[in-house]
Structures are given as structure tokens and as C-alpha cells.
Amino acid sequence: MSFPVHRPRRLRRTETIRRMVRETRLSPDQFVAPLFVCEGERVRREIGAMPGCFNMSVDVVVDECRELWTAGVPAVIFFGVPDEKDPLGAGAADPDGPVPRALAAVRSTVPGMSLWADVCLCEYTDHGHCGPLAQAPTGETIIDNDAALPRLADAALCYARAGADVVAPSDMMDGRVAAIRAALDGAGRSDVVLLSYAAKYASAFYGPFREAAGSAPSFGDRRSYQMDPGNAREALREVETDIAEGADAVMVKPALAYLDILWRVKERVHVPVAAYNVSGEYAMVKAAAARGWVDETRAMVEMLTSIRRAGADLILTYFAKEAARLLE
């Protein structure tokens, strides 16, 4: 049967009908707000390419988390912006670093909030790579996978002790999920959720974040550990490996240019799937809206809806507060 009996437009006629038959809905319950924690006090430094996002000292982060919680956002993920860096990224596991201090402060002031800690070394290494450097037998400088693992495990344990209930390794080293799970369990912290950035692509859309976290590599790029944008089956392999190693949930990053990956992962696995609506995706909307080229609110909602529709159970997004307020 077809036209004229079938007229799909009938179900689009009024806002009420459209609201009732809508297949995909956004809720603040799905949002995780990324926050950049720096040293100092009363620091709230706007990030140039991310209007509305700030590097914040711990005291300001506490206020921000209260606001997010009140807006209905259930979770935040912390990234550290330390003053001191070294070749090994030792600061990642420093209990007095900005992230552990933020975790402890927010844990005591907003006790219900889910506190996530990004686990990586690149914000703490002076060369900006996600693992320590080494010399390959062939002579070139490489990122030392196996030397990174105990450091990532130490960092994850440090964040768990400070109050994180979710640790999220973002480094893309092989074997890091198993190393972190073993370290947490060995320290009696089998309660901590491990959400892995399982399929993380080497993407141009991270540009603004690197300004925010001061983590641009000082030489080379991250293509020897982050995934090639042309690969999809490899993403499934990464996801399955991480789940086998003990990941409770997995992430696809970035989101917009990888909605097909998100969909494939969602079809394949039975753990929650997160997507990272990255800084470049946020910046594109903000920049175009500032010029009057797109309607910011509509573009934001459409983008978040597409990520949800493609399969994301959870969305890490710089729009978290704005979108939550709109939806409430």
C-alpha cells in the first residue's frame, strides 16, 4: 500500500503528535561535562577556541559542579592542567595534583555527583605524548607502550582514592585496561567503574582541547597509538579487547565524524556506549553561530540527538549545562 492511503505527513502535523512519536529523546541523565582543572585560586580562564569553557582552579570547579548538578547533569570528567611537567608524566599520579584535589573537593560538596577522571599522561608529559619516550631498535623515538601501563595504573588508583567513581583511560596504549583493572582490584577498589576510550581516532577535531589542556605533542603526532580515521573493523577489535580486559563501558571519540562507528559498536556490545562530542565539534557550532550562520540552540540539539540516535547511551559534551537547562 502506498499513497494516497499512506501519508506519513499525518504524523508530523502538530507539535504534540511529533512529540509523541519521536524515537530519540535527549535527557540530562545522559550528559557528562568535561572540566579542565588548573592550579591556583579563583582562576577562571576562558579557552579561546571554546567560548563558554574555562580552565578553572579547584575552588571554581566546585562552584561549576554545583551549577551542573542543579541543572540536572549527573556527571563530570576532569582533565588536569598542571603547572609542572616532566618526561614521564609523573604528575598524573600526584595526589596533590589539580585533579585529585578537585575530586576530593567535589566529592565532599556535591556528594551525589558521579565523578569521572580522564586517565592519560599527555597533560603531564613535557613532550605531550600519552606515554614515556623510548629509543626503538631501529633508532627512532617511539612512545613506550609497556612503560606507560604502570604509570596509567598509578594515576587511575590515585584518582579512585581521591574520590573518582569512574576512571576513563584515554591513552590508547595496548593492555591499559587490564593493567588499570588489576591495580584497582589489587588495592581493594573493585567498586570503581572503568570506562575506556576504546575507539579513539587520531582526529583534527581535538584541536581546541589541546589548547585547553596544553597537551599538544611537541614533536610528531599521535597516529602511532590513536586510530586511523579510515578504519571501522579495527574499532570493533579495540572495543572487544577492552571489554575482555575488564572495561565496564566503552567510548567512541570523536562523535560526529564517527556516528557509523558508534552504531556498529552499539550493535555489537552489551555494555553502555559513550561518545565524546569533542572540542572541535563544539567550536564549529559556536564559531558558526557567532557569525549568524547557524542557529546555535537548534544545531546543538540536532547534533546531540544524532549522537544519541547513533547509539550513545552517554554523551560527553561541552554543551552539557546549556543542553540540560534547555531540556529541564
- Site residues, Zn ion (CB under 5 A): 120, 122, 130
173: left (phi over 0), alpha (psi -120 to 50) or beta: beta
Please, what is the minimum distance in Å from the beta carbon of residue 226 to Zn ion?
9
Q: How far is the CB of 171 from Zn ion (least distance, A)?
A: 5
Grid coordinates belonging to 271 = 555494555
How many of the other CB atoms lie within 10 Å of CB of 47?
19
CA angle 303, 309, 310 (to 5 degrees): 95
- Residue showing the smallest CB distance to Zn ion in the complex: 122
Q: Which of 279, 237, 242, 281 minimizes the C-alpha distance to 259?
A: 281
Nearer to Zn ion, 130 or 250 (CB): 130
Catalytic residue among 85, 200, 266, 321: 200
Choose the catalytic residue: 253, 266, 286, 321: 253
CA distances from 252 to 240, 262, 264, 310 (A): 13, 6, 11, 11
Instruction: Report helix, strand and coil shares of the chain as percent, to nearest 5.
Output: 45, 20, 35
Which residue, 52 or 150, has its beta carbon nearer to Zn ion? 150
Distance CA 326, CA 322 (A): 6
Grid-cell match 558521579, residue found: 114
**Strands 50-57, 249-253: pairing kind:** unpaired
Q: Between residues 113 and 130, which has the closer beta carbon with respect to Zn ion?
A: 130
Q: What's the min distance (Å) between Cβ of 96 and Zn ion?
A: 21
CB of 122 to Zn ion, least distance (A): 3
Query: Shortest distance, CB of residue 82 to Zn ion, whole angstroms?
Result: 14
User: Which of 72/214 has CB closer to Zn ion?
Assistant: 214
Q: State which residue, 122 or 192, has the beta carbon closest to Zn ion.
A: 122
- Return the number of the residue (30 or 226) whose C-beta is nearest Zn ion: 226
Least spacing, CB of residue 289 vs Zn ion, in Å: 29
Is 321 a catalytic site residue?
A: no
Identify whether 85 is a catalytic site residue.
Answer: no
Neighbours of 202 (CB within 10 A): 15
CA 70 – CA 257 distance, rounded (Å):
31
CA distance 304 to 12: 21
Three-state DSSP class for residue 311: coil
Say if CB 273 and CB 313 are below 8 A apart.
yes
User: Cα separation of 124 and 130, whole Å?
Assistant: 9
Active-site annotation, residues: 200, 253
